[in-house]
Structure 1
C-alpha cells in the first residue's frame, strides 16, 4: 500500500508542476497588452496633439474638428475591442483549468496503466541474495525430462519422409530391441530417429550408445545426447540434460555447445546475468562459423537487458581485455621498471572498468584479482573478489576459479 501511496503522490506532484507551469504561461500571456490597448494610448496622444496644434494656431478649427472626429472614432473602436478582452481572458482561464485537469488526470491514470502493464503490482523488492536463492530453488525444483516431454505433442513424421525409409527405421528399431548391446545399431538408430524428428527416441538410442561405450564415450557423443534431450523437451534444459552437460564440461571445459546450453539453462532458471557472461565470452572467443554463435546473437541483447547490462555486441572471435599482446610485450622490453608498472596499471584499470560496466567471464575476474594482488592492492583485490563471489553465486566452477585467484592474491585463506 505504501508503494501505491508514494507513486500516486509523485504522479500528482509532477502533474501539479506541469499544470502550474501551464497556468503561469497562460497568465503571462494574459498580462501582455493587446494591440488594441496600444492603439488606445496612441489615439489619446493624437487627440492631445490636435489640441496643442490648435492652441498654437498650426491648424484651423475646422481641420482640428475633422481630425478630432476621426481620431475619436478610432479611439472608440479600439476601446470597445479592449473592453471585450476580459470575456476572452475568462474563456482562456477556463480553457487553462480544463487543460490542467486533463493533464493531471492523464498523467496519473497513464502512469498507473503503464505500471499495471509493465510492472508487478504487489511484488515486493528482492535483494540480490534473495533473487539468487530463488533462482537456485527454481533450478533444483524444475521439471524433469520425462515431464517436459509429456507436456509436448507427439512427434510427427516429416511429410517428405519416404515410406521405404520409415519402414527401414521400423525394422532397425526391432533389430536393436533384440540386440541391446549392438553399438552400431544404436548409433544408426539415434541418427535415424533424429532424422524423423523423433528426438525422444533418438535420445534413448544415444543413451544406449553411452552405456555401451562407457568411459570410452567421447565428449561429442555426450554433447549429442544432451542436444537430443534438449530438442526432445522443446528447447528446455532439464536436470538430466544439465547433468550430461556438466559431465562433458568436466572433460572439456572449452566445449562451446555445452557452454551455450549451460547458459540457456541459467537463463531458464532465473540467472540471466550468468547466462549473459557465458554467451558474451563465447562470442568473443568465436569463431564466427561456430554453431552456437547464431543462437547467441539472436538472444544475447535481450539477455543483457534482463541482466541490467548496457551492452554492445563485441567483435566475434576477438577476446578483448585478456592481457598484453605480443606488441605490448615487445614494447615493454624497452621500458624502465616505472614505465612497465605504469603500463600494467593501465591494463588493469581498463580490465577493471570493462568488468564493472560490461561484465565478463570468470577468467577475466580471476585475472583482475590476481593482477591487483601482484600490484599490492589487496584492498581492491578483496573488493573485486567479494563482488565476483556474489556475481557467480551458484556457479561452482567459477567460484573455484575465484577462490584460487583470491589465494594467489592473498585475500582469502
Structure 2
C-alpha cells in the first residue's frame, strides 16, 4: 500500500511537469509573432495620417519602406532562432522530470525505509516543553540565590549545580559548585561534584583544576567513592594503569554490602582489566535497599517556594518516567520511579511502577534481594 501510494505520487508529479511540454506549442506567443503585428498597426496609422493631410505622399512612402524593412528583419531573426533553443529546453526539462524521481527513489531505497517509525511531533513538543520548564525553574532558583543578601544557602547552590549537570550544562554546573567550594561549609561531596563537572566540561579530561578538587575531596573524606573514581581516571590518563586499577579495586573491597556506585566501579575495573591483561572482578549483587530519591533528597529543594519545589520535583520524576517508556527493561529504573512516587504520595502510580519491576524480577534469580524490596513496598502501599 505504501509503495503503491509513493509510485502514484511520483507519476502525478512527472505528469504535471510534462503536460506543458506535450501540449500544443502554437499557443505560445513569441517575439516573432508580436513585432510584425505592431508594425502592421503602424502601417495603418500612416494611411490614416495621410488621409487627414498630416503627412505628404513622399513622407508616407518613406515611412512605409522603413516599416517593411523592419518587418522583414524581424521575420528573418525569428526564423534563425526558432527550433533549437526551444527543443533543447524541452529535452532538458523532460530529462529532469524523469531523472529526479529515479535518483530520489534510488537514494530512498539505500538510505530510507517506510517501515522505520518516526518520532511524533506531539512527543517532541512535550519533550521541548518539559526542557523549557526545567530551564525556567533553574533560572528562577539561580535568580533567587543571586539576589539573596546572604549569598544564598549552600544547599540551594548544590541543587542548582546538580540540575545544570543533568541538563548537560557542565560549565554552569562548575560555577554553581564553585560558589559552595569557596565557603567554609564545603564538604567532600562538594569538591567531588565540582571535580566531576570540571571533567565533563573538559570532554572527560582531568585537568589540574579537577585534580585539585579531587585531592581536597579525598582530604576531607578518604572514602569518597566519586573522588576515588576520578582520581583513578587521572592516573589512567597519565598511563599509570596499574595504579588506577588498584585504587578502584581497593575502594570496592572496602564495602561490605552493595551500594549503587559499585556497578560503575566494576564496569570500569573490568574495562581496565581487559585492556591491561589484569584480573577482572565479579559484578556486585543488587542492593536490598530501595533506590531512588528519598524524602531528604527532595527536601534539598527547600529554598524554593512550595509550588516551585513541587513543580521542579515532578518534572524530574516525569523525565525518568519518559525515559523508562523508551527503556522498559530497566529494572532499577522502575524501582527508582516507584520510590519517587511513594515519596510524592502518589500511591497508584507507585504501585504501577512496582508492578513493572515485579514483572521484570521474574527473569532474575529467586534469591535476588530486590524481590523482597518490591514485595514489602507493595504490601505497605496496599497493592
What TM-score do you get using the length of structure 1 for normalisation?
0.40
